[in-house]
């Protein structure tokens, strides 16, 4: 089967979308399928990678995004699809690429779009109020342009379920259980990261307003007022870097920037006591799941999807959720630290929970959705330009 994935907001320092693309491509190839991914860049390039064939097309920088790019001309993308003749098309961008989905659907290519964000949450974070008519109109239109809309959590599904979208499919993303492991916890590295403090907190994520990154620093300040000798390690970059750097002045905060080496990142994650995920509208948050796989419990926003995989209603939770303010996050971090002190096996419990989200399961569901193993119609071979 020939599978093509088109994604905006993909780049050297992008997080979840980049990881998702690479893991899907690597998995598809391992199962004998042909995978091509089309992403924005400075010009037109084509190269073979371990994840599949990578085609970079001209793009423009999205203002105030910290360097994120979007593909400049969808006509070029359609011409590529005519040449590539895919059996299945995956799209990661519900805004500028939905027209490509409709174009492909009309030509009998099986099309799916990933809902990587909640539009209702984005609208509220930008405008300060819910614009339900606009959100419902957009989501109805989006669903009509693809064979399936993929939501990765129940949280991501809600805005589509509320308008009774029939082609909605829930497929959780996965985690690399070989790269991320509690076995990587390193006393020497931990002491280097702590720099004399006793509790190591970590924040992994993009520094952008909709993710509320300031709450991790403000929670640290609150904890230190309460006598918790903690240090915060911040991994990531984004448009709020200067603002966060200023907010952290005089506080034990270490900014490590974006870490390309995932093995090094996994070691750092395994050294932490608590991972903070303050984003209020996260629809999955791969960094939180990678933290669990590393044996590190997670404190997340109560309004995001992350709580869905923290086992909050069980006798063995692997984290906590908090209201979207620094005091609530400090309270939740304290609860998790107490849990960690009372349960020496919490690291293993975190990893065991992450084992419920292998990429192999994601790949199996995706291939089943695409109809792998069934005869693929040849009608779409007769493609024509838009």
In the chain, how many domains are there?
2
Please tell me the distance from the alpha carbon of residue 300 to that of residue 247, in angstroms, as a whole number.
21
**pLDDT of amino acid 11:** 80
Please tell me the distance from the alpha carbon of residue 268 to that of residue 266, in angstroms, as a whole number.
5
Assess whether 56 and 153 both reside in one domain: yes
C-alpha torsion angle, residues 279, 280, 284, 288 (rounded to 10): 40
Residue 176 has pLDDT above 50, yes or no: yes
Is the separation of the CB atoms in 232 and 216 below 8 Å? yes
Q: Give residue 368's pLDDT band: very low, low, confident or very high (50, 70, 90).
A: very high
Q: Could you tell me the CATH number of the domain that includes residue 70?
A: 3.40.50.2000
Assess whether 313 and 365 both reside in one domain: no
Assess whether 118 and 217 both reside in one domain: no
User: Hey, which residues does 203 pair with through a beta bridge?
Assistant: 234, 276
Assess whether 374 and 274 both reside in one domain: no
Assess whether 276 and 187 both reside in one domain: yes
Please tell me the distance from the alpha carbon of residue 147 to that of residue 306, in angstroms, as a whole number.
27
Alpha helices (H) along the chain: 16-30, 74-84, 98-106, 119-127, 132-144, 154-161, 187-194, 214-225, 241-247, 262-271, 286-293, 326-342, 346-354, 359-370
For range 35-50, the mean pLDDT: 95
Residue 386 lies in a domain: no
Residue 196 lies in a domain: yes
Assess whether 162 and 106 both reside in one domain: yes
Residue 375 has pLDDT above 90, yes or no: no
Please tell me the distance from the alpha carbon of residue 278 to that of residue 210, in angstroms, as a whole number.
10
Residue 118 lies in a domain: yes
Assess whether 140 and 208 both reside in one domain: no
Assess whether 16 and 92 both reside in one domain: yes
Q: What is the pLDDT of residues 276-332, one digit of tens each?
A: 999 999 999 999 999 999 999 999 999 999 999 999 999 999 999 999 999 999 999
Assess whether 126 and 273 both reside in one domain: no
Please tell me the distance from the alpha carbon of residue 251 to that of residue 231, in angstroms, as a whole number.
8
Assess whether 87 and 219 both reside in one domain: no
For range 229-258, the mean pLDDT: 96
Q: Which residues of 24-42 are buried (b: 16+ CB within 10 A; e: fewer)?
A: bbbbbbeeebebbbbbbbe
Assess whether 161 and 216 both reside in one domain: no
Owning domain of residue 227:
182-354
Is the separation of the CB atoms in 294 and 264 below 8 Å? no
Residue 80 lies in a domain: yes
Find, among 27, 8, 20, the residue nearest to 65 by Cα: 8
Residue 383 has pLDDT above 70, yes or no: no
Residue 379 has pLDDT above 70, yes or no: no
Assess whether 89 and 234 both reside in one domain: no
Residue 132 lies in a domain: yes
Percent pLDDT > 70 in the chain is 96
């Amino acid at each position: 089967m020939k599978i093509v994935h088109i994604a905006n907001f993909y780049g050297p320092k992008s997080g979840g979308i980049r990881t998702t693309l690479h893991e899907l491509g690597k998995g598809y190839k391992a199962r004998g399928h042909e995978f091509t991914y089309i992403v924005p860049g400075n010009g037109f390039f084509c190269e073979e990678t371990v994840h599949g064939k990578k085609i970079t097309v001209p793009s423009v920088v999205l203002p105030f995004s910290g360097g994120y790019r979007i593909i400049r001309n969808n006509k070029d993308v359609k011409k590529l699809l005519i040449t590539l003749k895919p059996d299945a098309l995956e799209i990661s961008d519900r805004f500028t690429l939905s027209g490509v989905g409709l174009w492909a659907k009309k030509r009998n290519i099986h099309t799916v779009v990933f809902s990587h964000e909640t539009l209702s949450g984005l609208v509220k974070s930008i405008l300060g109020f819910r614009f339900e008519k606009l959100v419902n109109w957009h989501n109805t239109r989006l669903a009509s342009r693809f064979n399936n809309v993929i939501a990765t959590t129940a949280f991501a599904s809600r805005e589509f379920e509320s308008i009774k979208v029939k082609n909605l499919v829930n497929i959780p993303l996965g985690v690399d259980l070989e790269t991320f492991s509690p076995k990587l916890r390193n006393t020497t590295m931990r002491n280097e990261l702590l720099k004399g403090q006793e509790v190591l907190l970590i924040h992994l994520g993009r520094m952008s307003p909709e993710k509320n990154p300031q709450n991790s620093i403000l929670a640290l300040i609150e904890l230190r007022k309460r006598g918790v000798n903690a240090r915060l390690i911040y991994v990531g970059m984004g448009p709020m870097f200067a603002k966060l750097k200023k907010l952290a002045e005089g506080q034990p905060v270490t900014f490590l920037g974006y870490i390309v080496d995932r093995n090094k990142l996994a070691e750092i994650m395994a050294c932490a006591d608590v991972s903070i995920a303050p984003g209020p509208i996260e629809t999955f948050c791969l960094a939180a799941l990678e933290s669990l796989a590393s044996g590190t419990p997670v404190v997340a926003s109560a309004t995001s999807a992350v709580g869905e995989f923290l086992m909050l209603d069980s006798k063995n939770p692997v984290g906590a959720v908090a209201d979207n303010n620094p005091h609530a996050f400090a309270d939740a971090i304290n609860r998790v630290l107490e849990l960690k002190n009372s349960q020496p096996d919490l690291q293993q419990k975190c990893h065991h929970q992450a084992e419920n989200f292998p990429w192999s399961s994601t790949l199996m569901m995706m291939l089943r959705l695409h109809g792998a193993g069934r005869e693929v119609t040849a009608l779409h071979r007769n493609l024509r330009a838009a």
